Structure 1
């Protein structure tokens, strides 16, 4: 089955997992121009976002202008993909991310990549680069991390749980929290929080083996800018740039924010 996505490109589905754990993941691939040698982009979205969001579509448009490839997809329980959102964990969404990257490698020849991760996608990007480095079959040429939220379950959620939320987790396995980004509340499950502890990255030196550019709004109400500074300290062994946007919010979707994101992505794709 083929569907239309946010910028008019065709999107297909791949299956990740087996038997009762199988889920259909919506993937949009853009082929590079003939002879183009720039790294391809891989978009890793945030919690409850999808590949038709503004930043994802703008990244795809940049890929067209540069003549390079671009990979976008929806995690299970997000956007056009199958699966229940409440089954989602960092491990599960990481598995899907790696499956999509492998699919792109076979379909487009995408073996040199720039991972562009937004919010939770920044955490998944950091986990993915470690997994890919261990395999050594795909090169990550750089990371662009937008308001990155590594370890957000243990660093930003657990310490701030109310008694009512702790009770809901214990008795119902999840709790809800209002969000300004839509009419439906965010849902955080006990399995997400427990799995998050297994995927922590802020407990030692993070070795990505590639340049990293972090963009963080200082007016971000969801991920404090101090969290980005802490991440940068853990990336001490790498070539890291941190851009603080004084009036930037969590989404960083204003034209001036997107321009900075795309500039960073292009520099890393070119290897400048």
Structure 2
């Protein structure tokens, strides 16, 4: 695992912690990585993005949300809003000039929320958004398909649910706080308007985010140049060599525009 180049002491809505950041300087547009739930900034897709940035001489920024990877913090304290606050803090510190936001799974949701934050605060939108296996609104749209009524009863009673990961990276913890906050940050109750081109990449064999969900997200982009690439035999992680080559090709096309 790569050691952070920078640490940010940050206080979000729920905790004070140190955020681990990997930043390499370069030209614009910069590439800005937003990882998934329980993932970290040293996964295959994040490394592929950083490698492409280095090849093209572009700046790149990766970081771990609070309680992810090398960042400190208690996972049970965190929510979508607090991880968005982490993303905003890193963006404000390291994103100099136009940025291509690259979000994977939950990170696609955070990427859209970050872009929304920029627009609401008078900043230019992202140059482009690349959304990989997008888990947008997963607390509201996906968890009800995954959890039985008795699971939600347990969540309400105990304040959390634990589920073993199919990827062998430890149990996933879903807190009542996370679900309620996620539902309050829902984006799919109205059309999406980013002010930037968007490209969704999704695997046809994704067991975690159904293809129908990614297609629904795509249909919400009524005002932007949105594209959708289906990888028919791709899984949720989309980290095979051919998947990473596809990701780099899409980022490269945006960077050259």
* TM-score, scaled relative to structure 2: 0.96
Q: 1:170 to 1:43 in 2, by over 3 A?
A: same
Tell me which residue corresponds to 1:16. Answer: 10
Q: 1:20 to 1:258 in 2, by over 3 A?
A: closer
Aligned residue-pair number: 257
Tell me which residue corresponds to 1:78. Answer: 68
1:117 corresponds to 2:111: no
* TM-score, scaled relative to structure 1: 0.90
Tell me which residue corresponds to 2:129. Answer: 143
Residue 171 of structure 1, CA deviation: 1.9
**8 Å Cα contact 2:125-2:196 kept in structure 1:** no
Unaligned runs of 5+ in 1: none
1:128 corresponds to 2:114: yes
Tell me which residue corresponds to 2:30. Answer: 40
User: Alignment RMSD, CA only?
Assistant: 1.6
Inter-partner Cα distance in structure 1 for 2:227 and 2:234: 17
CA offset digits 1:154-175 (Å, max 9, x no partner): 1000344224312321221001
Residue 137 of structure 1, CA deviation: 3.1
Tell me which residue corresponds to 2:56. Answer: 66
Inter-partner Cα distance in structure 1 for 2:90 and 2:221: 26
Alignment of 1:149-160 (within 5 A): 149-160=135-146
1:88 to 52, 69, 78: 78
Inter-partner Cα distance in structure 2 for 1:104 and 1:52: 18
Residue 19 of structure 1, CA deviation: 10
1:97 to 64, 69, 87: 87
Residue 69 of structure 1, CA deviation: 0.2
Inter-partner Cα distance in structure 1 for 2:59 and 2:25: 5
CA offset digits 1:187-223 (Å, max 9, x no partner): 1110010001111010111100001010000100000
Residue 18 of structure 1, CA deviation: 6.7
Tell me which stretches of 4 or more aligned residues in structure 1 moved more than 6 Å: none
Unaligned runs of 5+ in 2: none
Inter-partner Cα distance in structure 2 for 1:99 and 1:193: 23
Query: Could you say what secondary structure the match of 1:64 adopts?
Result: helix
CA offset digits 1:98-129 (Å, max 9, x no partner): 10000104xxxx22100000000000011111
